[in-house]
Amino acid sequence: MAIDPVCNMVVDEREPPATATVAGSTYYFCAAECKRAFLELGLGGEAEIQPRELVDRQGKPVSAQPIPTGVVAILFTDVQDSTQLMEELGQETAQTIILNELDGQEEAVRRHGGYTVKRLREGDGMMAAFAAPSPALLCAVDVQSDDGREAKVRVRIGLHAGEVLVDGDDYFGKTVIMAARIMGRASGGEIAVSEGFRSLLDPPAGWRFGPSRKVRLKGFPGWQRISMLDQDKPVNSARNTER
């Protein structure tokens, strides 16, 4: 077995979805998107890359990896009804619970080779980026399957993938906005994905989704299609052969 150098997923060397040979070394990838990101960033060559240093709430470094560019999978989370939580538990208690929840989400992002871009201004959600859709979806499943979560906390997640605009260590553009809008269409405990995100999954039939439905998203013309991930299966068997 090998490790995808972009998203850290385990890859079967006998039947890898993609490979690349650079300077005499062969690298194995879980998807073509990871191979493209690997080559574009020059990770296997002599080119020097400027890593982004990830930090925790206290500003302490936790890892350093290059920021994905080009086609990026964007993940948004939101603690649903956080204001109501503060009314029920008190502001300080609720704030502590929410901060612990976000710390756990960021840890999940790191486990799946992603980047916590930022915590949202409202303080009850975060934005993360991945070089490929599959690890982004695995991360979302990981977040939703947190057995240690406070019972009153319900998290909704939205995923979309596409070209992004990068400014320093932040992302902008239509892809980011649509991911946030899609997150707003999910309820607590759900993972909502765009049709575009779903079409990029490799293999495309490796995940179970509910019926695709048409929605209108603020700022986007016409109808957009989204669907919810079927989370009935355990995390380690989220990939399967059913559609």
Over the chain (243 residues), what is each successive 10-residue block's mean pLDDT?
A: 71 83 80 75 48 45 64 94 85 88 92 90 88 93 84 91 89 94 94 94 76 92 93 47 31
Residue 155's nearest CA partner among 92, 207, 98 is: 98
Q: For residue 195, what are its two tokens?
A: 């049709």
Q: Are residues 63 and 30 in the same domain?
A: no
pLDDT at site 49: 37
Residue 167 lies in a domain: yes
Q: Are residues 37 and 79 in the same domain?
A: no
Rounded to the nearest 10 degrees, the angle between the axes of helix 91-111 and helix 133-144 is 140
Q: Are residues 36 and 66 in the same domain?
A: no
Reported pTM:
0.70
Rounded to the nearest 10 degrees, the angle between the axes of helix 82-89 and helix 91-111 is 140
pLDDT at site 204: 60
DSSP 8-state secondary structure symbol assigned to residue 214:
E
Percent over 70 (pLDDT), the chain: 80
User: Domain residues for 19?
Assistant: 2-41
pLDDT at site 11: 77
Q: Are residues 92 and 150 in the same domain?
A: yes
Q: Are residues 30 and 79 in the same domain?
A: no
- Looking at residue 90, which CATH number applies to its domain? 3.30.70.1230
Q: H-type helices in 71-218, by residue range?
A: 82-89, 91-111, 133-144, 174-183, 195-199
Answer for the pair 64, 54: CB distance below 8 angstroms, yes or no.
Answer: yes
Answer for the pair 51, 65: CB distance below 8 angstroms, yes or no.
Answer: yes
- Strand-pairing partners, residue 159, are 75, 193
Q: How many structural domains are present in the chain?
A: 2
Signed CA dihedral, 118, 42, 63, 162: sign only: positive
Q: For residue 213, what are its two tokens?
A: 């439905």
pLDDT at site 46: 40
